[in-house]
Amino acid sequence: MGTGTGTGSGVGVDSGTGSGTREGSPRWIGPYAVITALDRSSARIPVPERRYIARSADGDRTVLLGAPLPGADAGRFLAEADVSRYLLGPASWPVTELAAPGDSPWHARPYVPALPLPTALTVYGGPLPERTVRALGAALAETLLAVHGQSLAYAGLSPSAVVLRADGPRLTGFGAVRIAGPDGASRSGLPGLESGSLPPEQAAGGHPRPLGDVYALGATLAYAATGHTTPEREELPAALRTVIGRCLTRDPAARPEPAELLAELAPQPSQPSQPSQPSQPPQSPQSLQPSEQPHPSAPYSPYSPHPPYSPTVLDSAPPTPPASFLPPGWLPGRVIAALAHQSASVLAAELRLPPVPPVAAPAVPPMAAVPPIPAAPRQD
């Protein structure tokens, strides 16, 4: 049986929903003051890095800040963070700031309320609903498709690397496998690596490859659906047994590609009945009127059902299903409430500034004595 999750009812400061720092947490990392740790100190799932919610000294910027685990290769940590600034995909959360060369390593990205996947299971009280697992899997599969299209392997996907936001899941911990240990040496039991989601070939020291990410995705979805990264087949929801089981195959060649997983997990749009209309030949984008043609620079949400018509790195991939990956109600109400509580707590911490001492009014010097005005001489 794989690693499990607790089902406590409360979410304290350690989970990122409070407003103070855990004992032993640093007060400052780089230019940022730590508000709270994102991860629970009691979590049984290893975290890929130390993660904090922090704010700038002037109070203008709030960030999700990452720092390497004790004993990690600081240089490799910064190198992976630097590459992660250019990751594509709907669930990517690129780093925007890095420590200066020679300083203690850290990286930061703009803060948005987010819960680590293990915390979300604790808040919900157990495994997440199937609709949530499917939405999570579709978004992560499309992100892996984009990352692999950049000739990269994520090499860090695990339950703790996934955080849930109101606008969809996000991935952190890029390169955690490479940071934990070099190729050729066993990585089993190293800090930051969850054994159930570590592909067997990478645990033995093999070079991280894209199909290893598929194994890690299967373990992460298994965790979301059961609370364990290596559950028994019967523990998985019946509709997800086959797809998750194929991901967890020990032979990398037998695992499905991310595009196949995307087609399997993405919700399919309903097809309402339409009155019959005269058939017309399909129009190409070039034949549309200028007002009808999508603008190449139009803003695009990765979860939008209608992406703009412009070539991308994924043009060779199968088309994305037209429906959104995040159907209404994809995130349970308890998780949404926890996100709102975290946001309010962080805001309160930002507003809890030291009182400004009253400024005393400057003393007014006493007026100098004014000599009396001599009386005017009498004129008879």
Query: Per-residue pLDDT tens for 275-286?
Result: 444 434 434 333
Instruction: Please give the pLDDT value at position 186.
Output: 87
pLDDT at 256 over 80: yes
Question: Hey, is 373 helix, strand or coil?
Answer: coil
Question: What is the side-by-side order of every strand in the sheet holding 32-37?
Answer: 28-29, 32-37, 50-56, 62-67, 107-110, 97-98
Please, which residues have CB within 8 angstroms of residue 217's CB and are 6 or more apart in sequence?
137, 140, 141, 144, 157, 247, 258, 261
The strand pairing partners of 63, in sequence order, are 54, 110
Instruction: Please give the pLDDT value at position 362.
Output: 57
Six token digits for residue 74:
């600081």
Query: Per-residue pLDDT tens for 288-309?
Result: 333 333 333 333 333 333 333 3
Packing angle between helix 117-124 and helix 333-351, nearest 10 degrees?
110
Amino acid in the structure at residue 266: A
pLDDT at 97 over 60: yes
The answer to whether the CB of 280 falls within 8 A of the CB of 250 is: no
Name the pTM for this structure.
Answer: 0.74
Mean pLDDT, residues 53-74:
93
The answer to whether the CB of 339 falls within 8 A of the CB of 165 is: yes
Instruction: Please give the pLDDT value at position 358.
Output: 58
Handedness of CA 43, 48, 52, 53 (dihedral sign): negative
